[in-house]
Structure 1
């Protein structure tokens, strides 16, 4: 299996090397990067490119590692026992397979995405060490062992909200998705907005990178946000001249697609005020 990107996803050379290395080593691929740089979408595109089913486990702050294995529905069993249901005598009827169980039990190879692992408790990654390493786990209620017939391709994403344990990192192949440079961003935009006029794209991207480089910015706009912004510019049929800013208006046109908090909006308003005073 060899991943080279897809027609709808621009994968840089170092990213394709990382994906293929993780597949060869049969280790989880841990992908970090700014929000909006395509970490989650990478897993979907790997599945599409390799023609494999995908199982997605979206991690939340309340998610426990054991939920990825299975859950025992004791409440349903108690209710059925009160109702005299015959199913109550077989505890297996109340075992709910989790995402790892589904991936291990699949007939063929699958892509398993563990999305935003850093949202969970700090012990969450450690609680999955053996299962991801050995590709098996024990179901204590039934006494059975669930073992993967074929190792799934595991892709784990993190937004760097908290540090991950060293023991967990040792078992992963790591890749950090750097923010795209101007040329790569042009290729990404061409995939999503084919045929966009070069003059408009040059002006818009120049302005976008100037905004990202502004000192004091609390949240830098991401790839997904510039794509939304360009979609709005095209919908409004704006020209490169319409995007020009001056000292009286430092905010970009339709800035709500790029600036997502009041501190950053106020920053550009202050810059405009200072420019007017300087003028």
Structure 2
């Protein structure tokens, strides 16, 4: 059976990343992860939640995201609809019935230790990280509409990812434990592939890795293939029963190369 390449069941934790997680837990500071797309930044949170049997709360940041959304939001639309159609007027009168906690809010409100993923924080406005400083420091916030204070019962493990689209503010960086996930060396990449494809032919694995790293070393490549592309390519090779030893050209190149300029290098 071929396992999902995005499954945390096949996640391999390097020694340096494992150390960074420990430091984050000891200091109770968020762990800020950077690295190439496809190096497993976001998947780490799911892996840690499953490994330690903790609930996972995920916040996928968008360009339009505001910091408050991760804490809570007031569902005014539902309240308006209920006021027009619902028979339960007592529910409509109580505004707390329409307060929905976001990922951070749910983690703070959780009675047990949890894992929070703030994914791709650099997609939002430059002030977005600074707007979370107080809440991440104190692990509490107030709901303006009701006056309720939500304070973390157990401090969650917070994983924050960034793809370096924007520089993050210095004040925010000071409050984080930082780790850069280096692109895997061939030996570690071999272990990653074997965790996904335990029955892969040794010779196929060897030749596939050789071809992959040759491509990554090409200076003119605009978009170098990453781990995700490699796993897709391996899946195709295994499924098609490919024999790279007899191939003059790299087969199924579309799994590795993702734009026309790079494709011209091979033609």
Matching residue within 234, 255, 262 for 1:264: 262
Note the alpha carbon deviations across 1:11-42, whole angstroms, 9 max, x for none. Answer: 11111100111011111000111101111111
Matching residue within 73, 91, 98 for 1:94: 98
Q: Does 1:142 align with 2:140?
A: no
Unaligned runs of 5+ in 1: 1-5, 246-251, 270-279
Q: Which residue of 2 is the match for residue 123 of structure 1?
A: 127
Secondary structure of the residue that 1:47 maps to in structure 2? helix
After TM superposition, where is structure 1 displaced by more than 4 Å over at least 4 residues in a row? none
Distance, in Å, in 2 between the alignment partners of 1:70 and 1:9 is 31
- Per mean C-alpha deviation after superposition, the further-off stretch among 6-15 and 18-27 is 6-15
Q: Does 1:151 align with 2:144?
A: no
Q: Does 1:45 align with 2:47?
A: yes
Q: CA shift at 1:244, angstroms?
A: 3.6
Distance, in Å, in 1 between the alignment partners of 2:189 and 2:132 is 36
Q: Which residue of 1 is the match for residue 3 of structure 2?
A: none
Q: Does 1:220 align with 2:218?
A: no
Matching residue within 32, 35, 38 for 1:36: 38
Distance, in Å, in 1 between the alignment partners of 2:32 and 2:97 is 35
Matches within 5 A, 1:88-237: 88-237=92-241
Does 1 or 2 have the higher relative contact order (CA < 8 Å, sep 6+)?
Answer: 2
Distance, in Å, in 1 between the alignment partners of 2:117 and 2:61 is 10
Instruction: Please say if residues 203 and 243 of structure 1, whose CA atoms lie closer than 8 Å, have aligned partners that are also in contact.
Output: no
Unaligned runs of 5+ in 2: 1-7
Q: CA shift at 1:82, angstroms?
A: 4.5
Q: Which residue of 2 is the match for residue 273 of structure 1?
A: none
C-alpha RMSD of the superposition: 1.5
Q: Does 1:20 align with 2:22?
A: yes
Secondary structure of the residue that 1:215 maps to in structure 2? coil
Q: Does 1:253 align with 2:257?
A: no
Query: What's the TM-score, normalizing by structure 2?
Result: 0.92
Note the alpha carbon deviations across 1:72-107, whole angstroms, 9 max, x for none. Answer: 122333444445733232111121111111001111
Distance, in Å, in 1 between the alignment partners of 2:191 and 2:84 is 62
Distance, in Å, in 2 between the alignment partners of 1:26 and 1:244 is 53
Report the structure number with the largest CA radius of gyration. 1
Distance 1:97 1:186, change over 3 A: same
Distance, in Å, in 2 between the alignment partners of 1:82 and 1:54 is 36
Distance, in Å, in 1 between the alignment partners of 2:172 and 2:241 is 49
